[in-house]
Amino acid sequence: MTTLVLALAFALAEKAPGAPTSARAPAASDAREFVARVNGDLKRLWTRQATADWVKATYITGDTERLSAWANEEVMAYLSGAIADSLRFENVEGLDPATARALRLLRLASSLPAPRDPARRAELAGIAAKLEGVYGKGKWCGKDGQGPCRDLEQLTETMRKSRSWDELLDAWEGWRTVSPPMRADYAKLVALSNEGAREIGFANLGELWRSGYDMTPGQFERETDRLWAQVKPLYDDLHCYVRGKLQERYGKERVPDGRPIPAHLLGNMWAQEWGNVFPLVAPAARASLDVEAALKAKGYDPLRMVKVGESFFTSLGLDPLPATFWERSQLVKPRDREVVCHASAWDVTYSDDLRIKMCIKVNEDDLRTIHHELGHDYYFHAYTRLPALFQQGANDGFHEAIGDAVALSVTPAYLARIGILDEAPLEDEQGVVRVQLRSALDKIAFLPFGKLIDQWRWDVFSGKVPPDRYNAAWWELRRRYQGVDAPVPRSEANFDPGAKYHIPANVPYTRYFLAFIYQFQFHRALCSAAGHRGPLHTCSIHGDKEAGRRLQAMLAMGASRPWPEAMYALTGQRQTDASAILDYYAPLRKWLKAQNRGKSCGW
């Protein structure tokens, strides 16, 4: 069976779809036929690929890694041929907009373009599968290697709960022993994928990634800089306040003024979100808002938490999840095998085969993550009848933003309304600040991290950062954007970027930066559609059918139109606007400035 699959792959690569049968110049009708054929082929191939990837992610073995590599190689082979063949339509006159857009999206269809040479293509597929497997199987067994061994899930719990400098440092350093063996393979992946990108007309893989936003790569990079400049003042205020509180806990000798925060102190393995240190930095309140305790007291389990997420979407008038979702999803970590616990959403067959893959814990973070992942699934569901090339978000940031925009409506008042909380906390100034601070520790703290991941990769793909500076460049960006630094000296013997899933898995990351901005713009527009009056942070669209109608109209467009048109359908705006973040956090901004008065801020 494997031989047949590989034979098909190479045959497809050698015979590009829709090749002309004569020497005549291609016409618009040829392009339409070509796109129709490619859409059919890709749906079949992507289904095989997603099926193999699902099995690999939910049952990690050497065999499943090989199956995934073979399926990915098959897709790589096909795309190499199809993209090369599509270039003959570049100057065809009279193309209808849908065909022209499909041809453009085809060139951008792979985040890991493969070289045309079969041996190098196979090498790239094998490296990609191996890197993700190394990450998924990673464990820290102590400095002497004698255990007890802890996987990422267990180490994450230490980072989440511990307040001991030494325990946190052990977990932080321990997880980063997983990534140095990836370094040589990652450098090969960069070289091979750059080769593939050049063969389809891009200078390098980073340029290809930046081309997926209906603007030039240079314009897109400037756009991310503009958006970061809009939100940076709020991040700077948050950083200053949190550093001051960490100084109270760990001392100024360990957390000095004017210096970056040690990365292991922020409650998260990558210091990308800081919500877990909320108990250390929160102002006093009459009553503590403890959603995790409430969930456990009310007997919530992972299945019931997912039902809560589904009920929010159905309250907007959207469809229930299909029965197969509940049969095929991975909601908890199996006891009998290795799996990738990193949360993700799937339509395995590109035909409404919706699933999520998580190792759900009963806590507030995972409740919100469930809403995020279901946002992906409802996007899949809305555009499932579109051709394969249009079965994606208006851009990849849209896909990431939908569930988070809905989760902004999971307010304390809403949690009380559906019975998770016994009552909503009082809406006095201190109560509002506590809720907003808890949210900002995740959403605002994330923004520079969301930007720098791909800034590092763009520099790596372009050659600006060579392999012998991978780690140095990583920490330069961490210090520059986040004001966060390694707690112990690092060198090029380390490969700290590889300790973050999206690097070995080759998942573009700017989508998350955009999503954390889009979600507030979406939320403001949906609240307006729902007729909300009052501060933006108090709005919940739960149960509002007009907001649901507006959301569904945008979701159903998929990638069939440029993203500014999808943005306009939902928000009435055609440009990304980070001002909604500042509107949402207006009470917190005022409070942080008062708390930071007289402090030495910056780094």
Residue 224 placed within a domain: no
**Rounded to whole angstroms, how far apart are CA atoms 79 and 395?**
20
Omega prior to 148 cis, within 30 of 0: yes
Task: Quote the percentage of the chain above a pLDDT of 70.
Answer: 95
For 227-243, the pLDDT digits (tens) are 999 999 999 999 999 99
Residue 403 has pLDDT above 90, yes or no: no
If one counts the domains in the chain, the total is 2
For 518-552, the pLDDT digits (tens) are 999 999 999 999 999 999 999 999 999 999 999 99
Domain containing residue 21: 2-126
Residue 276 placed within a domain: no
Buried b (16+ CB within 10 A) or exposed e, 273-312: bbbbbbebbbeeeeeebebeebbeeeebebeebbebbbeb
Q: From the candidates 373, 407, 445, 566, give the one annotated as an active-site residue.
A: 373
Report pLDDT for 286. 64
Q: From the candidates 36, 100, 187, 343, give the one annotated as an active-site residue.
A: 343
Residue 538 placed within a domain: yes
For 54-76, the pLDDT digits (tens) are 999 999 998 998 999 899 889 98
**Helix and strand totals (H; E) in the chain:** 24, 6
Residue 431 has pLDDT above 90, yes or no: no
In the block, tokens 């008042």 appear at 413
Is 33 labeled as catalytic in the residue annotation?
no
Residue 17 has pLDDT above 60, yes or no: no
Q: Which of 79, 102, 126 is the last residue of a domain?
A: 126
| Packed helices 364-382 and 396-407: angle between N→C axes, nearest 10 degrees | 130
Contact 498, 138 (CB under 8 A): no
- What is the DSSP-derived secondary structure letter of residue 489? -
Q: From the candidates 52, 400, 414, 580, give the one annotated as an active-site residue.
A: 400
Q: What is the mean pLDDT of residues 575-585?
A: 96
Q: Which amino acid is at 588?
A: L
For 410-419, the pLDDT digits (tens) are 888 889 999 9
Greatest mean pLDDT range, 9-18, 76-85, 373-382, 428-437: 373-382
For 348-357, the pLDDT digits (tens) are 999 999 999 9
Q: From the candidates 239, 376, 399, 537, give the one annotated as an active-site residue.
A: 376
Residue 200 placed within a domain: no
Q: Which amino acid is at 202?
A: F
Is 239 labeled as catalytic in the residue annotation?
no
Q: What is the mean pLDDT of residues 244-249?
A: 97
Q: What is the mean pLDDT of residues 292-318?
A: 96
Greatest mean pLDDT range, 21-30, 131-140, 189-198: 189-198
Q: What is the mean pLDDT of residues 86-111?
A: 93
**Rounded to whole angstroms, how far apart are CA atoms 474 and 183?**
13
Residue 3 has pLDDT above 70, yes or no: no
Of 208-217, 340-349, 416-425, 590-599, minimum mean pLDDT range: 416-425
Residue 88 placed within a domain: yes
Exposure of 361 in the CB half-sphere (CA atoms within 13 A): 13
Is 264 labeled as catalytic in the residue annotation?
no
Residue 460 has pLDDT above 60, yes or no: yes
Q: Which of 82, 109, 126 is the last residue of a domain?
A: 126
Residue 377 placed within a domain: yes
Burial tier of 571 (Cβ tally within 10 Å: 0-12, 13-18, 19+): buried
Report pLDDT for 287. 62
Residue 38 placed within a domain: yes
Q: From the candidates 342, 381, 523, 542, give the one annotated as an active-site residue.
A: 342
Residue 13 has pLDDT above 50, yes or no: no
Residue 388 has pLDDT above 60, yes or no: yes
Report pLDDT for 503. 97
Q: From the candidates 509, 512, 518, 584, give the one annotated as an active-site residue.
A: 512
**Rounded to whole angstroms, how far apart are CA atoms 205 and 193?**
6
Dihedral (CA of 501, 504, 506, 510) sign = positive
Residue 225 placed within a domain: no
Q: Which two tokens stand for residue 177?
A: 């022993």
**Rounded to whole angstroms, how far apart are CA atoms 55 and 415?**
35
Q: Which of 103, 126, 149 is the last residue of a domain?
A: 126
What average pLDDT does the chain have? Answer: 92
**What global pTM score does this model have?**
0.87
Residue 430 has pLDDT above 90, yes or no: no
Q: What is the mean pLDDT of residues 327-341?
A: 92
For 471-486, the pLDDT digits (tens) are 999 999 999 999 999 9
Is 400 labeled as catalytic in the residue annotation?
yes
Q: From the candidates 372, 381, 399, 532, give the one annotated as an active-site residue.
A: 372
Q: From the candidates 100, 191, 199, 502, give the one annotated as an active-site residue.
A: 502
Report pLDDT for 593. 97
Is 372 labeled as catalytic in the residue annotation?
yes
Q: What is the mean pLDDT of residues 111-120?
A: 91
Report pLDDT for 257. 95
Residues 6 or more apart whose Cβ sits within 8 Å of residue 348? 47, 50, 51, 54, 328, 355
Burial tier of 404 (Cβ tally within 10 Å: 0-12, 13-18, 19+): buried
Report pLDDT for 109. 87
